[in-house]
Chain A
Amino acid sequence: RKEVEQDPGPFNVPEGATVAFNCTYSNSASQSFFWYRQDCRKEPKLLMSVYSSGNEDGRFTAQLNRASQYISLLIRDSKLSDSATYLCVVNAKSFQKLVFGTGTRLLVSP
């Protein structure tokens, strides 16, 4: 079983739609949680950190459920420019490696 599991998609949605991605992680010792965005043939870029209290950045909302070891990302009012792969990431040990899911591909169409 992979340490971080995501549905690879693709998710095909029209502009303006709301889309949600989910992720589960297996290591209960995981300490920090993130969503990264990766455009085709580019490096991953940090989208946002994820906290138990939930956090929002514009159209993006992330949530962590430690009891269920579950992480979510909600994108409201999807834009064409949101088309990318969204990577769920955990950091099990401070200052050491990040563990990535396989990524969920999002395609937003006009």
Chain B
Amino acid sequence: DTGVSQDPRHKITKRGQNVTFRCDPISEHNRLYWYRQTLGQGPEFLTYFQNEAQLEKSRLLSDRFSAERPKGSFSTLEIQRTEQGDSAMYLCAIPAVNQETQYFGPGTRLLVL
């Protein structure tokens, strides 16, 4: 158990629909990260939060993507007007105690039809 839960674990949607994913760290962490992993690739950084503040966003995060961490605990990632290219596993991560590496939640697997 890495101390991070994600919901839903799987999501199938039609192109053009909006989807929202949630990440819940079990304990308090000042930092929280989102990554995306497509088939045959390693995870790619999307964005990260320091408490409530979103401090860095990858250029992968188009304007259809928005992430929030309103109370500095759980986080949501919303994708508007989904496209087939959004099909991927979306991973949430928290920093390790030494802050050098990260532990990942189980991910949300998105399939856009």
- Kindly provide the distance from the CB of B30 to the nearest chain A CB, expressed in whole angstroms: 9
B43 at the A interface (CB under 8 A) = yes
- Chain B interface bracket (under 10, 10 to 19, 20 to 34, 35 or more): 20 to 34
Binds A, one of B11-19, B67-75, B80-88, B101-109: B101-109
A12 at the B interface (CB under 8 A) = no
- Contact A42 B41, beta carbon cutoff 8 Å: no
Choice from B45, B99, B103 contacting A95 with Cβ under 8 Å: B99
B56 at the A interface (CB under 8 A) = yes
- Kindly provide the distance from the CB of A85 to the nearest chain B CB, expressed in whole angstroms: 9
| Chain A residues, CB < 8 A from B103 | 46
A1 at the B interface (CB under 8 A) = no
- Contact B42 A103, beta carbon cutoff 8 Å: yes
- Contact A98 B45, beta carbon cutoff 8 Å: yes
- Chain A interface bracket (under 10, 10 to 19, 20 to 34, 35 or more): 20 to 34
| Chain B residues, CB < 8 A from A34 | 101
| Chain B residues, CB < 8 A from A44 | 42-43, 91, 104
* Interface membership of chain A positions 77-106, coded 1 if the CB is closer than 8 angstroms to chain B and 0 otherwise: 000000000010101001111111111000
- Kindly provide the distance from the CB of B101 to the nearest chain A CB, expressed in whole angstroms: 5
- Contact B44 A43, beta carbon cutoff 8 Å: no
B21 at the A interface (CB under 8 A) = no
- Contact A97 B101, beta carbon cutoff 8 Å: no
- Kindly provide the distance from the CB of A7 to the nearest chain B CB, expressed in whole angstroms: 13
- Contact A43 B91, beta carbon cutoff 8 Å: yes
Choice from A94, A96, A102 contacting B42 with Cβ under 8 Å: A102
- Contact B100 A100, beta carbon cutoff 8 Å: no
B38-76 contacts to A, CB under 8 A, are 40-45, 48, 56, 58
A97 to B95, CA, bound (A): 10
B contact residues vs A (CB 8 Å cutoff): 2, 31, 33, 35, 40-45, 48, 56, 58, 91, 93, 95-96, 99-107, 109
The 10 A-B pairs at the shortest CB distance, nearest first, are namely A100-B42, A97-B45, A43-B104, A32-B100, A100-B43, A43-B107, A87-B42, A102-B42, A103-B42, A43-B106
Q: Known pairs A44-B42, A89-B101, A97-B33. 6 more at Cβ < 8 A?
A: A8-B40, A41-B109, A42-B106, A87-B43, A98-B35, A102-B41
